[in-house]
Structure 1
Amino acid sequence: MFTGIVQTRLPVYAVDRKADFATFTLQFPTELAAGLKLGASVALNGTCLTVRTMDNDLISFDAIGQTLAVTNLGAVEQGTEVNIERAAKVGDEIGGHMISGHVMAQVAVLERIESANNLVLWFERPSELAPYLLDKGYVALNGCSLTIAAVQEDRFSVHLIPETREVTTFGTSQPGDKINLEVDPQTQAIVDTVTRVLADPALLGELTARLTATANNG
């Protein structure tokens, strides 16, 4: 699991592509590699990958065809910068929100509005994920936990403070860029549960009866 607080952005040191498979190698700074072990989970652009090899500060990760097709890692080349977050530990401060690292879709940057101290990015709002992309709700974009600032039928926006722009790849994001998206799992669970209950009269009646009984007993 991850918290969506990106620790740094790093250029990809090397990419080795094969049929429906790729190995990404990155050069980790000493402080980021501290305590890292083979088999550990690391998020690259919000995609949970497993440490395959460690050669001093060169760390490699494998990605299968499905991962390459669903995420923007399929287009990553040598020198491309990616957001990095080490897996969360028990007791860590959760400054963002819990993220699984299972990317659900890629969305395009539609518009970039920049001022001296603020950056607004507008993204596509895919119809299949629209119920989970709500005004003031959480979303993970390239592994970065962000709050949705505004929602329109087919797009949504986020505001990025200078710190986020400096630490992550969003400082250089441009219209047309493809960004990995993971919806907030709690929002997804609530929306799916409510949708299921409203679609089932028997289940809705049972829930209403229980809530009424609870209220009467309270």
Structure 2
Amino acid sequence: MFTGIIEAVGRVSALEPRGGDLRLSIDCGALDLAATAIGDSIAVNGCCLTAVEVSGSTFSADVSRESLSLTTLGALERGSPVNLERALTLSKPLGGHLVTGHVDGIGRIESRVDDGRSVRFVCRVPDELARYLARKGSICIDGVSLTVNGVEGSTFSVNIVPHTLEATGFGGYRSGSRVNLEVDIVARYLERLVGEPGGLTRARLEDYGFVKGH
């Protein structure tokens, strides 16, 4: 489990194909790996990976064929920047929202426009994920916890403040950039509960304040 608060931007130092899978090595830069052990989880652009080697400021992880096909990790090259976050601990502030590190789909940046001191990004999601978007709800883009500012069909917008532009990979995103998406876990559980026989009804959701009555 993660928070969506990026701790450092690392860079890919090596990519080693292994029978259809990939051994990915990341130079973590300013991220301190002193307490990181083999078997620990680290989110790389929002994908939860397991460290299989740790040496100095570098760790390596094996990426399965499925993960390569369902995320943007398969498009990484040596030197590519990546957002990094170590797994959540009980002593760590939950500054973003609960993030699992399981990517739901790949989105595409549609536009990037300056908006005051921040930058407004519009992102298109796969049609099947659009129902999980809600204005002022949470979304995770490449491991970054963000608040949705607007939704229109299969697109949504977010505003990125100067600190986030500098502290994550967002500064390099342009129209056409592909990004990993993870929808809010609460939205997924609500969908399941509402859809199951004997589950939540609209009336009960209204009682809980999740939806407004007529």
Same fold (TM over 0.5): yes
Number of the residue aligned with 1:215: none
Residue 156 (1) aligns with residue 136 (2): no
Question: Structure 1 pair 110/204, CA: closer, same or farther in 2 (3 Å)?
Answer: closer
Looking at CA atoms only, which structure, 1 or 2, has the larger radius of gyration? 1
Number of the residue aligned with 1:28: 28
Quote the Cα distance in structure 2 between the aligned partners of 1:114 and 1:150.
16
Cα offset, 1:53, TM superposition: 0.8
Question: Structure 1 pair 58/115, CA: closer, same or farther in 2 (3 Å)?
Answer: same
Quote the Cα distance in structure 2 between the aligned partners of 1:204 and 1:5.
32
More helix by share: 1
Quote the Cα distance in structure 2 between the aligned partners of 1:171 and 1:123.
15
Quote the Cα distance in structure 2 between the aligned partners of 1:10 and 1:149.
28
More moved, 24-33 vs 48-57: 24-33
- Root mean square deviation of aligned Cα: 1.9
Return structure 1 stretches of 4+ with deviation > 4 angstroms. 202-205
Number of the residue aligned with 2:37: 37
- After superposition, give the CA deviation of every residue in 1:80-134 in whole Å (9 maximum; x if it has no partner): 0010000011131100001110001000101111245111111113221111111
8 A contact 2:103–2:182 mirrored in 1: yes
Which sections of structure 2, spanning at least 5 residues, go unmatched?
Answer: 208-214
Quote the Cα distance in structure 2 between the aligned partners of 1:179 and 1:26.
18
- After superposition, give the CA deviation of every residue in 1:156-191 in whole Å (9 maximum; x if it has no partner): 110001111011001110111110000010122113
8 A contact 1:125–1:153 mirrored in 2: no
Number of the residue aligned with 1:70: 70
- After superposition, give the CA deviation of every residue in 1:41-88 in whole Å (9 maximum; x if it has no partner): 000000000001122332111101000001100100000001000001
| TM-score of the aligned structures, taking structure 2 as reference length | 0.89
Quote the Cα distance in structure 1 between the aligned partners of 2:56 and 2:177.
33
Quote the Cα distance in structure 2 between the aligned partners of 1:85 and 1:171.
18
Quote the Cα distance in structure 1 between the aligned partners of 2:57 and 2:42.
15
More moved, 126-135 vs 112-121: 112-121
**% of aligned pairs identical?**
33
Quote the Cα distance in structure 2 between the aligned partners of 1:92 and 1:21.
32
| TM-score of the aligned structures, taking structure 1 as reference length | 0.87
- After superposition, give the CA deviation of every residue in 1:139-160 in whole Å (9 maximum; x if it has no partner): 1100000000100012111000
8 A contact 1:125–1:133 mirrored in 2: no
Which sections of structure 1, spanning at least 5 residues, go unmatched?
Answer: 212-218
SS at match of 2:68: helix
Amino acid at match of 1:32: D
